[in-house]
Amino acid sequence: ASFGDIQRREQQTMRTRSRFAMVNKKRYFLIAPFWKTKLPLPAGGWISKIFANLKSFFTKEDKVSGYVEIDPEYVVLNGAVYPEFPLGSYRGDQGKLVIVGHGVSVVQEVDPMTLEAKKVYDIPSLVPNTKGNVMSSTCVFDKYQIIMDFSDVKSKELCKYRIIKMTREISESRYGGKLVASFLARPSFLYTFSVTSNYIIIPLIPYVYKNAPFESNYSMGNKTLSEILEYQGDQDLLFYVIDKNEGKSQYDSLDPINNSLVVDCNTYEDDSILDYLKIKNLRDPATMGALPFSATRRFILSDISIECAKYLSCGGLLSSFPTMHFQFISSDPMELGCINPFKQGLKHRYVYGLSLHKEDRGKVGLIWNAIRKIDLEGEDEKSPIFIAKEFEHSPFTASKTEVMFQPQGVTSTGVPHEIEDEGVIVSIVYNSHIKSSFVLLLDARNLTEITRYYLPCIVPLSFSRGSFVSHPYPSIV
Q: Could you please report the per-residue DSSP string of 83-125? A: TT--SS---TT---EEEEETTSSEEEEE-TTT--EEEEEEHHH
**pLDDT recorded at residue 5:** 34
Query: Hey, is 189 helix, strand or coil?
Result: coil
**pLDDT recorded at residue 266:** 83
Are 264 and 351 in contact by the 8 Å Cβ rule? The answer is yes
**pLDDT recorded at residue 15:** 29
Are 398 and 430 in contact by the 8 Å Cβ rule? The answer is yes
Q: Cα(169)–Cα(178) distance, rounded to whole angstroms?
A: 12
What phi-psi label fits residue 286: left (phi over 0), alpha (psi between -120 and 50 degrees) or beta?
Answer: alpha
Q: What is the pLDDT along the chain (477 residues), one digit of tens a residue?
A: 333 333 333 333 332 232 223 233 233 222 222 222 222 333 333 333 333 333 233 344 444 444 444 455 555 445 677 766 666 544 434 556 777 766 566 777 777 767 677 777 766 666 766 666 666 666 777 665 667 777 776 666 777 888 877 765 555 445 567 778 888 888 777 667 888 877 888 888 887 777 655 554 444 555 666 777 778 878 888 888 888 775 443 443 444 445 778 888 888 888 888 788 777 777 777 777 788 878 888 888 877 777 777 777 776 666 667 777 788 877 778 888 888 888 877 888 899 988 877 777 777 777 777 888 888 887 655 667 776 655 554 555 555 567 888 887 665 555 666 788 888 988 888 777 777 788 888 999 888 889 888 888 777 766 655 666 554 433 333
Output the pTM of the full model.
Answer: 0.71
Are 83 and 100 in contact by the 8 Å Cβ rule? The answer is no
**pLDDT recorded at residue 472:** 43
User: Closest Cα partner for 351 from 273, 304, 311, 404?
Assistant: 404
Angle, vertex CA 62, rays to CA 32 and CA 108, nearest 5: 45
Q: Residue 21: in which H helix or E strand, if any?
A: helix 3-36
